[in-house]
């Protein structure tokens, strides 16, 4: 059973206090509050949400004809046209570029030229025996076609500098001009703060800030169990991507970092030989969240040759205008990524990664939520944007681009509700709201759960860093309160059945060609119930006069809220 950390519980009760204050403000507010709350309105709207419609939308989006909806492919373009067509049919307005339903996202596709690139590590003059795609992966450089680095290697623990947590792996290290080798993850901070500090781009920036010139990420048994090194190698059949800003600069690029590589477990073992520290000791320390730091007796020479191509891929943006004369100038955003992995390495003769749960399910969900809102009369008070984002699998690109360059004023966006991978594999009994503990959205989640007769469960797998692994995080980093509700893992009979089904799915089906419509257990009634829950969360956000707020003293609010003002 999951352990609820003290910090999470503390912030939950804080948000309850804030909710009580908001409720009080609502009573005292001079702003018009919607006419007598007709409590049946959301029930009527929710009754239009249908399991059949979710199944039908998923069946189209996950069809082989769409070839796995890879970012910047024809399959994804067709899927985007489908989403736009459905929104248009509901009477939603275009809210992308130039009065269209599409926001064109400039992206750069990147591949390492494996034949021309090299990675060599030497200890006391003799080379370690390492081979490409077995022992290491060299990441492409987002700007330089060819770049090299030759430097000593320092083990910098997790590579985390977190003043807010009084923690610094670089405290007694000199990494100037050196390459840092980093364990996966972060110390045992509260779940979403741990997730934030585990992010590769945060670690790369931290390394650059301390003067490092290269990063070598190290695999370990915990990461291997979540997503094996062999799958990273397999996924190299598809390019990597970055999004480009208005000046053509790629996101999260730190020119000072001249190489990024990823080492397998056997290669990691070789790296620690002769250092006085065993790899097993490091793996154990990483798991427990406690690592020492020390120079390794090795130097690394990494030469990276990158092939790149600049392309475009669409976000789909549709608007339902609100009914309140003032609040209609503010927007709730629903996001769900439409892209998946495209065509890749075949498994049992099937090379199409259909992405039925990941994320045709979330795409179908926001379509049903949109039509439920579109049926309401009067319409919800605030306006709503439905954004079907591209490039999530390639690094949350479409949502980052939208959050940086929204098609409405950034400060007018009050919240993001993101849906990714609806676990529609058993009846809906509970929900998990990733990231809700940071904002007053926690209150919205609890009201929606109560109305649906389901319970809210804490994040049962903080090591999976779910909070940073989908599109809600892009909004958080722009200071916008965001949450990813997800079906939980409880069974109504109290057994572990649902949990076991979900974990088996993670092992056998997640990011595999068999995440398609033929998989057993798809429970469309559960998906419809979850869509109703998702609708209700948004309904409360659109109706409540005060907009969602960051909790006082919240880590993410303190860091990012100013960006949304
Ligand atoms: Zn995915």
Q: pLDDT by residue (tens digit) across 262-289? A: 999 999 999 999 999 999 999 999 999 9
What spacing in Å lies between the alpha carbon of 105 and ligand 1's midpoint? 19
Q: How far is the CA of 394 from the centre of ligand 1 (A)?
A: 9
Alpha carbon distance 14, 276 (integer Å): 46
* Per-residue confidence band for 17, with pLDDT thresholds at 50, 70 and 90: very low
- For residue 437, the CA-to-ligand 1 centroid distance in Å is 24
Q: How much distance in Å is there from the Cα of 510 to the middle of ligand 1?
A: 7
Instruction: Compute, in angstroms, the gap from residue 358 CA to the centroid of ligand 1.
Output: 5
Average pLDDT of every residue of the chain: 92
Calculate the CA dihedral of residues 226, 230, 235, 236 and round it to 10 degrees: 140
CA of 355 to the centre of ligand 1 (A): 8
Q: d(Cα 404, Cα 563) in Å, to the nearest integer?
A: 10
Output 464 or 103, whichever has higher pLDDT.
103
Cα of 28 vs centre of ligand 1, distance in Å, is 44
pLDDT of residue 466: 83
Q: How far is the CA of 343 from the centre of ligand 1 (A)?
A: 14
pLDDT, position 7: 29
pLDDT tens for 208-240 read 999 999 999 999 999 999 889 999 998 898 899
550 closest CA partner among 202, 192, 197: 192
Q: How far apart are the first and last CA of the chain?
A: 40
Q: What is the pLDDT of residues 128-170, one digit of tens each?
A: 999 999 999 999 999 999 999 999 999 999 999 999 999 999 9
Q: The whole model's pTM is what?
A: 0.88
Q: Which residue has the higher pLDDT, 484 or 16?
A: 484
Cα(511) to centroid(ligand 1), Å: 6
Q: CB-based burial of residue 126 (10 Å sphere; 0-12 exposed, 13-18 middle, 19+ buried)? A: exposed
Q: Report pLDDT digits (tens) over 474-513.
A: 999 999 999 999 999 999 899 999 999 999 999 999 999 9
- The helix (H) or strand (E) run that includes residue 459 is none
- Going from the Cα of 93 to the center of ligand 1, the distance in angstroms, rounded, reads 29
Average pLDDT over residues 373-397: 96
Separation of CA 372 and ligand 1 centre (Å):
26
State the distance from the centre of ligand 1 to the C-alpha of 357, rounded, in angstroms: 9
User: Where does the pLDDT of residue 16 fall: very low under 50, low under 70, confident under 90, or very high at 90 and above?
Assistant: very low
Task: Give Cβ neighbours of residue 136 (< 8 Å, ≥ 6 apart).
Answer: 119, 130, 261, 262, 263, 264, 267
Contact assessment for residue 266 and residue 135, using Cβ atoms and an 8 Å cutoff? yes
3-state secondary structure of 536: helix
Q: How many helices (H) and strands (E) does the chain have?
A: 17, 21
Kindly state the percentage of the chain with pLDDT values over 90: 87
Per-residue model confidence (pLDDT) at position 349: 94
Confidence of residue 32 (pLDDT cuts 50, 70, 90): very low
Per-residue pLDDT band at 39 (split at 50, 70, 90): confident
Residue 366 has pLDDT above 80, yes or no: yes
Which of 487, 434, 422 minimizes the C-alpha distance to 193? 434
**What is the CA(390)–ligand 1 centre distance, in A?**
12
Q: How confident is the model at residue 38 (pLDDT cuts 50, 70, 90)?
A: low
Q: Rounded to the nearest whole angstrom, what is the distance from the C-alpha of residue 420 to the centroid of ligand 1? A: 8
Q: Give the pLDDT mean for 193-222.
A: 95
The CA distance from 77 to 84, in Å, is 11
**CA pair distance 392, 466, nearest whole angstrom:** 13
Residue with tokens 């021309």: 116
Q: How far is the CA of 421 from the centre of ligand 1 (A)?
A: 8
Query: Would you say residue 2 has pLDDT above 50?
Result: no
**In the predicted model, what is the mean pLDDT of residues 310-315?**
98
Write the DSSP symbol of residue 460: S
Query: Could you tell me the sign of the dihedral formed by the alpha carbons of 167, 171, 175, 176, in that order?
Result: positive
Cα 274 to its chain centre, rounded Å, is: 38
Distance 340 CA to ligand 1 centre (A): 7
- The average pLDDT across 316-343 equals 98
pLDDT band at 29 (very low <50, low <70, confident <90, very high): very low
Rounded to an integer, the average pLDDT of 5-20 is: 32
Q: Where are the alpha helices (DSSP H) in 29-99?
A: 41-46, 51-61, 74-89
Task: Give the distance (Å) from ligand 1 centre to CA of residue 392.
Answer: 7
Q: Give distance in angstroms: CA of 144 to centre of ligand 1.
A: 28
C-alpha–C-alpha distance, residues 416 and 413, integer Å:
8
Give the pLDDT of residue 467: 82
Give me the pLDDT at residue 14, please: 32
Q: Is 7 exposed, middle or buried (0-12, 13-18, 19+ CB in 10 A)?
A: middle
Q: Which of 9-13, 26-30, 195-199, 272-276 is predicted with the least confidence, judged by mean pLDDT? A: 9-13
pLDDT of 1 above 90: no
Centroid of ligand 1 to alpha carbon of 111 (angstroms): 20
């Amino acid at each position: 059973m999951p352990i609820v950390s003290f910090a999470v519980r503390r912030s939950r009760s804080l948000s309850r206090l804030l909710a009580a204050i908001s409720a009080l403000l609502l009573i005292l507010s001079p702003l018009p509050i919607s006419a007598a709350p007709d409590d049946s309105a959301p029930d009527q709207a929710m009754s239009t949400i249908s399991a059949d419609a979710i199944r039908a939308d998923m069946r189209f989006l996950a069809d082989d004809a769409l070839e796995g909806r890879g970012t910047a492919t024809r399959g994804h373009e067709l899927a985007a046209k489908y989403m736009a067509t459905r929104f248009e049919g509901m009477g939603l307005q275009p809210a992308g570029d130039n009065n269209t339903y599409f926001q064109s996202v400039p992206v750069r596709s990147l591949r390492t030229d494996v034949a021309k690139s090299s990675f060599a590590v030497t200890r006391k003059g003799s080379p370690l025996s390492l081979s490409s795609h077995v022992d290491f992966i060299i990441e492409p450089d987002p700007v330089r076609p060819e770049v090299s680095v030759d430097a000593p290697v320092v083990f910098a623990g997790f590579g985390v500098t977190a003043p807010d947590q009084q923690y610094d792996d670089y405290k007694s290290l000199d990494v100037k001009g050196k390459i840092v080798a980093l364990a996966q993850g972060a110390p045992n901070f509260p779940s979403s703060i741990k997730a934030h500090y585990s992010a590769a781009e945060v670690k790369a920036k931290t390394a650059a800030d301390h003067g490092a010139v290269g990063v070598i990420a190290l695999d370990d048994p915990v990461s291997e169990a979540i997503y094996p090194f062999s799958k990273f190698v397999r996924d190299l059949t598809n390019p990597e991507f970055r999004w480009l800003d208005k000046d053509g600069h790629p996101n999260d690029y730190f020119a000072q970092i001249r190489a990024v590589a990823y080492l397998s477990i056997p290669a990691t073992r070789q790296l620690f030989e002769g250092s006085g520290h065993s790899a097993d000791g490091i793996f154990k320390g990483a798991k427990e969240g406690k690592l020492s730091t020390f120079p390794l007796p090795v130097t690394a020479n990494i030469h990276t040759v990158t092939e790149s191509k600049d392309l475009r891929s669409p976000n789909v943006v549709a608007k339902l205008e609100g009914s309140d004369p003032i609040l209609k100038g503010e927007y709730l955003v629903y996001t769900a990524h439409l892209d998946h992995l495209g065509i890749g390495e075949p498994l049992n003769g099937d090379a199409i990664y259909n992405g039925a749960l990941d994320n045709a399910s979330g795409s179908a969900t926001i379509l049903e939520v949109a039509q439920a809102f579109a049926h309401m009369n009067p319409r919800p008070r605030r306006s709503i944007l439905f954004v079907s984002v591209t490039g999530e699998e390639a690094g949350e690109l479409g949502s980052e681009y939208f959050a940086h360059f929204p098609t409405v004023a950034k400060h007018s966006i009050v919240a993001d509700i993101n849906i990714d991978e609806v676990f529609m594999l058993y009846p809906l009994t509970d929900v998990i709201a990733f990231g809700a503990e940071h904002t007053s959205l926690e209150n919205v989640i609890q009201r929606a759960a109560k109305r649906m007769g389901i319970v809210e469960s804490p994040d049962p797998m903080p090591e999976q860093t779910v909070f940073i692994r989908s599109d809600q995080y892009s909004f958080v980093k722009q200071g916008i309160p965001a949450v990813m509700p997800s079906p939980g893992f409880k069974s109504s009979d109290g057994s572990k059945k649902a949990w076991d089904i979900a974990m088996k799915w993670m092992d056998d089906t997640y990011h595999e060609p068999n995440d398609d419509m033929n998989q057993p257990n798809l429970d469309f009634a559960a998906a419809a119930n979850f869509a109703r829950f998702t609708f209700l969360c948004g309904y409360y956000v659109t109706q409540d006069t005060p907009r969602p707020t960051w909790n006082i003293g919240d880590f993410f609010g303190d860091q990012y809220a100013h960006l949304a003002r």
